[in-house]
Amino acid sequence: MKHAVKPEEAAELIPDGSVLLIGGFMGVGTPHRLIDAIVARGTRDLTVVANDTALPGKGIGKLITADAVSRVIASHIGLNPETQKKMIAGEIEVELVPQGTLVERIRAAGVGLGGILTATGIGTPVEDGKDKIEIDGKAYLLEKPVHGDFALIAARQADYVGNLEYSLTAHNFNPIMALAAETVIAEPQTIVPVGVISPDAVKTPGVLVDHLLERAA
């Protein structure tokens, strides 16, 4: 059985300078209560790995506004002008990674691969500083794994042992990120008895989950 913790208790586990893998597309599938707790705690110098930085005042956007983030690895930042301003001002380092490449780099970390080969980015600034490998006459970039200290993920349901079920597109990066971090903190909408979630619906097994957040009051 997993002991459910308060958001504040989970936030205290995350020290300054941590690398956070955070699920979500524009905040959908993001653990909002946990992010609020991190902001309230005043954590700093975080590296955030995510699809995007959401919007000002929403999801990861709250971490950006709170000056909690020093580095972002994401597919785009176009929806958050605050991220853009901080990047231009040199306050945040931003590494833009094609979306498919990003999720594969995270997956590579989770399954123990030394990297992935992809043709995406060849002939663009994406290839700068990266090793090229030729296979059967075609060039590929060697993209290295992306590991996290913590994976912060949201789920529709969890059971008492931590098995997670996701809802529709909120599935997004979450199951892959749960593979690639030292510590996994899940924020479910509800926590149910074992057996309520169909085995076929479990996308993240409980053995991967270290902490569950209590249900919202």
Check residue 217 and give its pLDDT: 64
- Residue given tokens 């005043």 in the structure block: 42
Question: How high is the pLDDT of residue 129?
Answer: 87
User: Which amino acid, 212?
Assistant: L
Digits of tens for pLDDT over the chain (217 positions)?
788 999 999 999 999 999 999 999 988 999 999 999 999 999 999 999 999 999 999 999 999 999 999 999 999 999 999 999 999 999 999 999 999 999 999 999 999 999 999 999 898 888 888 999 999 999 999 999 999 999 999 999 999 999 999 998 888 999 999 999 999 999 999 999 999 999 999 999 999 999 999 987 6
Bridge partners of 143, per DSSP, are 116
The whole-angstrom distance between residue 34's C-alpha and the CA centroid of its chain comes to 13
| Spatial contact of 160 and 90, defined as CB atoms under 8 Å apart | no
pLDDT at 169: 87
What domains lie within the chain, and their CATH numbers?
4-100+147-213 (3.40.1080.10)
Nearest to 7 by CA among 185, 204, 190: 185
CA atoms within 13 A of residue 3's CA, in its CB half-sphere:
3
Provide the pairing of β-strand 132-135 with 211-213: unpaired
Q: CA–CA separation, 32 vs 146, rounded Å?
A: 23
